[in-house]
Chain A
Amino acid sequence: MTALLEVQGISLSFGGLKAVSDFSIALRAGDLQGLIGPNGAGKTTVFNLLTGVYRADRGSIRLGGLDLGGAKPSRIAAAGLARTFQNIRLFGDLSVLDNVRVACHLRAATSMAGAILRTSAHRGEEAALRAYATELLEIFGLGDRTGEQARNLPYGDQRRLEIARALATSPKVLLLDEPAAGMNPQEKAALSALIRFVRDRFGVAILLIEHDMGLVMKVCEGITVLDHGVTIARGTPEQVQNDPVVIEAYLGAPAQEGGGVPAERRS
């Protein structure tokens, strides 16, 4: 089976800093892969490159054979690449339901005139979007909070809402940037089940950035390790976990925030 998302040799520098060097990855439909590395390794920058927030200095990004190089983020989202954000970026003043309905935007087909005249086609579409968004929120355990302002949700719910919102764009590939950050152990356990469930239920390929090694090792089938923008290892969780280069990168790095420690060192 050929790759769905095919990234070849992308690089990006911020001034003199090489944030990402010659990064490549391939995801097939239904893959669940991890992207790890110490703080500042360039993981989020990779996501920003893939989703068009930054433009790569070099390299190519293809999704289902479509060249995404230089495309703007909204077009990349339309092509089937969705993401969540490390620093949560919900639409805070909008309701939980509307956060998801914004992401249903790509499915809406009626014209502005249809919306203004409230034609029956438009009303039917709005009803369908509402039903779809509500169902999605119920799957994510947010079915009883649809009317709440997103900013008022507890932290863990906000992270889940971000995933639900990303899924509402009907992606082929989902990029999750530290979805477990700030969650308690129970929430983390539920999250790893949810990530697997999302992959199975929605058939998306998932690329996961996560600092919680226990979660990454449990959930991911393949792992890529970045350090200073360079890919230093790639393999199964076991291979990566026992790779001396990886251990070196984590232990050699200055004190970590957020517990970026290999699994075997977690007490």
Chain B
Amino acid sequence: MTASPWAGKAGALRPGTAAAATAGVTPFAVGLLLAAALQYAVGPAVGPFFSDLLIKIGINVILAVSLNVVNGYTGQFSIGHAGFMAVGGYAAGALTYYTSMLAWGGPQVQGGVFGVGSALFVGACLVGGLVAAAAGWAVGLPSLRLRGDYLAIVTLGFGEIVRVLLQQTQDVPFTADEARALSPVEMATHLGGSLGFSGIPFYTNLFWVWCFVTLTLLVAYRLKESTFGRAFLSIRENEIAAEAMGVDTTRYKVRAFVIAAFFAGVAGALFAHKIGTTLNPRELGFMKSFDIVIMVVLGGMGSISGATIAAVLLTVLPEALRGAADYRMIVYALMLVLVMIVRPQGLFGIREIWELPPFARRRGR
């Protein structure tokens, strides 16, 4: 080997990250156990109000962490995440509702946490995710050409189109006979309209929500730590340089949209089957998208732990401020302005909480 002009000055090799400890499928198993503990120990202990809160937290964590893939990793600005949530929620809700009607003659819950109904529900969550992912692909395509504000407007427009289309749908049939009279295409146009889609069976529980939270966190984190995540981040850092280093930026932007939309769709599906939900297009409009954007911005663009903590905070806060619900948006806006002034990069910036002092010394991330 020829001597480099800097030969001998090279520093010691840094040790690798703790990859070995978090390898393979072990973390999935750990997440499964935690979800089971929430379902069978924590849930019964804290009662229905806090169980519902833990479910809401889980859903919002999925939404924030997935939006972070687009807004945080690749630095695109999507403000239509609730649109993907709506697509997934309605697709999954319609699937379980109409299947239950046709198979069991009514929308009642069938079986327990691992019963036949839950199997249908989990399948519907995945289908909802896939349908939303397809929508994400369609919305991601314009990002080939658009940047910044223009992309934001497209995503906003997408969310509004979804809302308006859902409002145009017709009433949901209440009886099995009415449901049987509909063709599959007609079922897709009978989603309750502006009055909302009621009667979706309440399958969502702590176990399944936190299984999907585990999946979302692991996918987001492992992508971030891989060559794919670095490609996403390079786009946000400098698109021209990213292209010059061989990153197909358009392809990666679309990938980011598809991944984010998939998990937003899953979150929508979990929301659709939650106790007390009547799916309503109005609730999944711009305001909901805005809530999710705030979580990502507050947590730090690109930080998974930041988005997670912000999602927890911003789910608990409105409950704590219940009396002052009308002022929620004002509090949010003020908080956002404050963060932008004091810490423009968000709570954690691009980093994870364990990469920051005092949790860690400087490391080669």
Contact = CB atoms under 8 A, between A and B. Distances in A.
Given A118-B23, A140-B4, A143-B10, A112 B228 contact: yes
B14 A146 contact: yes
A98 B5 CA distance: 23
B10 A115 contact: no
Contacts of B19: 118, 123, 126
A144 B233 contact: no
Interface of B: 1-2, 4-6, 9-14, 16, 19, 22-25, 218-219, 222-223, 226-228, 230-231, 233-234, 237-238, 240-249, 255, 302, 349-350, 362-365
B238 to A, nearest CB: 5
B241 A141 contact: no
30 contacts: A51-B244, A72-B248, A73-B240, A74-B246, A74-B249, A77-B243, A85-B241, A89-B244, A90-B241, A92-B237, A94-B230, A98-B230, A102-B230, A103-B245, A105-B230, A116-B218, A116-B223, A118-B24, A126-B226, A139-B6, A141-B6, A141-B10, A143-B9, A147-B363, A147-B365, A165-B245, A168-B245, A194-B5, A201-B1, A201-B4
Contacts of A245: none
A93 interface: yes
A73 B324 CA distance: 53
A147 B219 contact: no
Nearest to B1: A201
A91 B363 contact: no
B246 A94 contact: no
Interface stretch (A32-40, A127-135, A235-243): A127-135
A106 B231 CA distance: 10
A52 B237 CA distance: 20
Given A141-B5, A147-B14, A105 B247 contact: yes
B4 A146 contact: no
A53 B240 contact: yes
Interface of A: 51-53, 72-75, 77-78, 82-83, 85, 89-95, 97-98, 101-106, 108, 110, 112, 115-120, 122-123, 126-127, 129-130, 134, 138-141, 143-148, 165-166, 168-169, 190, 193-194, 197, 200-201
B349 A93 contact: yes
Given A85-B240, A134-B14, 6 more contacts: A97-B364, A103-B245, A105-B231, A112-B255, A123-B19, A140-B6
Name the prevailing secondary structure of the A interface residues.
helix
B238 A129 contact: no
B10 A89 contact: no
Secondary structure class of chain B's binding surface, majority of residues: loop
Given A74-B243, A194-B5, A146 B364 contact: yes
Given A91-B233, A115-B228, A116-B219, A102 B247 contact: yes
Contact of B222 (A115, A120, A134, A194): A115
B4 A139 contact: yes
Contacts of A77: 243-246
Given A78-B246, A108-B227, A127-B16, A89 B2 contact: no
B243 A73 contact: yes
Nearest to A98: B230
Contacts of A116: 218-219, 222-223
A105 B227 contact: yes
Contact of B365 (A98, A105, A134, A165): A98
A147 B350 CA distance: 14
A102 B234 contact: yes
A169 B238 contact: no
A79 B4 CA distance: 27
Contacts of B9: 141, 143-144
A122 B263 CA distance: 23
Contacts of A145: 11
Contacts of B247: 74, 102, 105
Given A105-B247, A126-B226, A197 B4 contact: yes
Contact of A117 (B10, B25, B349): B25
B226 A115 contact: yes
A190 B362 CA distance: 29
B2 to A, nearest CB: 5
Contacts of B226: 115, 122, 126
Nearest to A171: B246
Contacts of B243: 52, 72-74, 77
B245 A112 contact: no
B200 to A, nearest CB: 30
A91 B238 contact: yes
A247 B2 CA distance: 38
A129 B10 contact: no
A117 B227 contact: no
A201 B219 CA distance: 39
Given A104-B227, A138-B10, A91 B234 contact: yes
**What 5 A-B pairs have minimum CB-CB distances, sorted nearest first?**
A144-B11, A141-B6, A143-B10, A138-B10, A91-B237
A146 B302 CA distance: 20
